[in-house]
Amino acid sequence: MSEQQEPAAGAIERGTGKLYGVGLGPGDPSLMTLRAVEVIAGADVVAYHSAQHGRSIARSIAERQLRPDHIEERLVYPITTETTDHAGGYRGAMEDFYTEAAARLAAHLDAGRTVAVLAEGDPLFYGSYMHMHKRLAHRYETEVIPGVTSVSAAAARIGSPLVEAEEVLTILPGTLSEEELTARLASTDAAAVLKLGRTFPTVRRALERSGRLADARYVERATMSAERTGALADVDPESVPYFSMALLPSRIDARRPDAAPANMPANMPANTPADTIGDRPAGAGSAVRGEVVVVGLGPAGPMWLTPEARGELAAADDLVGYTTYLDRVPVRSGQRRHASDNKVEAVRAEFALDLAQRGRRVAVVSSGDPGVFAMATAVLEAACEDPYREVPVRVLPGMTAAHAAAARVGAPLGHDYAVVSLSDRLKPWEVIAERLRSAAAADLVLALYNPGSRSRSWQVGKARELLLEHRAPDTPVVLGRDVGGPEESVRIVGLADLEPDQVDMRTILLVGSSQTRTVRRGDGTQVVWTPRRYPEA
């Protein structure tokens, strides 16, 4: 080797053999790819993992491709459960095993032999081959042959679309905690949960808690001779093997297209006729009876949405809400969207309840938290009167504007605080003024919602005057506008410097107490916080 050809210091010279990770598909040998058959036929060494009993599903799939002169490397797992007396526990035992197995394959590769490592499904999809790949691919020429995954096979066997249009598919291991499974199942459109067996009871509870059990399908050993499919809710937990999965297929396929209007006009009467709305008998579609779920979207986009809220939005047949808030929700095929003006809350609430009364699953969207100056009250006011008393109503919380703005500057709400709306559209200004005086006299931090608009600009100035009777002029005030959105602006001013023209309906004001502190830190950022301890009198 010439000086120019010498490898750089620290570089690893590749061996002469070639490593293949061969995806065999889900189990039926006829689902192996032509490339997989070709690679196995040409390999010198065929390696496969197996349990201590010696049987290997991977080998059984590829058996017809094996030659008498193939060198077979059986990579036998030392343990198949997490019970072990290894000093490093289960992970330590498995790490030692993978290291030893990789060394055995490396010896063949160093001798110039071609090594094909067999893998059920796809080699890099929850497969054991990946542990060999991570240890050897940087040292030897390597090719991975993709295979049909168990998820694709299972979806084919139940004959239901897995995902459609803009739906999101989530792949989950059943070994996750019940809380984590529940959150992820609630938030996704479609899902596949693998590695069942002993985890099946946990997965079933998570499906039930997330409201998805009725739609869940069970698939065992897809494409194999012992294949079994059915409704997951009907499966005996004691009969579930490791090679099985839970599937939540596309929601779109479950929705029946109705003749419902695309939008709700702002002046739509509350008793809109059924033939205009579009009936759906209870139990149709997703098999959930009609109900209204009031969903908090948080102050801005999808980053502020809870998994539970995301799931309910995806599951709804109809979405009802103020146009600006409804535009935050992704369009899904099969859903009906009913947008309206911001000042028709009562009409919107009764319209949603009317839809639910006809068997539809309705999500009423609300910015921030729906119970804070938002749609939950409007819906419940109508739901507690005839003819809607029997319509199920649920409220899902959301991140509030106050909490979002507070987090941007630190912790101004770190002690007691009061929340007041400055809008006098639904209550007299005299009531607002008295509440401001009382909260200021009690030395509470204030979160002021709905401070101003194009038609209502004087309240901010009046509120400032009232508060200055009890607060120092330099009391910090946080102005959070469009927090989390594309036009976000967060500023800190002294109370005496607060100007009404700085405020609109997209702004929230956080007014500090006598104890609230503002400090500029070493990196130049300005933070605001209210101490948790209050000074003794």
Band of the pLDDT at 16, cuts 50, 70, 90?
Answer: confident
pLDDT digits (tens, 9 = 90+) for 400-446: 999 999 999 999 999 999 999 999 888 999 999 999 999 999 999 99
Domain boundary among 148, 182, 209: 148
Query: Is the model's pLDDT at 506 over the cut of 80?
Result: yes
**Residues 311 and 333 grouped into a single domain:** yes
Tell me what percent of the residues of the chain surpass a pLDDT of 90: 73
**Residues 313 and 228 grouped into a single domain:** no
Omega of the bond leading into 387 within 30 degrees of 0 (cis): yes
pLDDT value at residue 502? 87
Q: Among 232, 230, 227, which Cα is nearest to 243's? A: 227
**Residues 294 and 209 grouped into a single domain:** no
- Of how many residues is the chain composed? 537
**Residues 369 and 413 grouped into a single domain:** no
Amino acid letter, residue 250? S
Give me the residue label for tokens 């059986």.
Answer: 74
* Structural domain span for residue 331: 276-396
Domain boundary among 93, 114, 148: 148
Distance CA 61, CA 28 (A): 7
**Residues 215 and 295 grouped into a single domain:** no
How many angstroms separate the Cα of 35 from the Cα of each of 32, 137, 223, 258? 8, 19, 20, 47
Query: Is the model's pLDDT at 7 over the cut of 80?
Result: no
Query: Is the model's pLDDT at 256 over the cut of 70?
Result: no
How many angstroms separate the Cα of 124 from the Cα of each of 133, 251, 447, 525? 9, 28, 51, 45
pLDDT digits (tens, 9 = 90+) for 193-205: 999 999 999 999 9
Residues 6+ apart with CB under 8 A from 270: 346, 347, 350, 351, 354
Output the domain CATH number for residue 524: 3.30.950.10
Instruction: Count the domains in the chain.
Output: 4
pTM: 0.75
pLDDT value at residue 495? 97
Amino acid letter, residue 157? R
**Residues 204 and 293 grouped into a single domain:** no
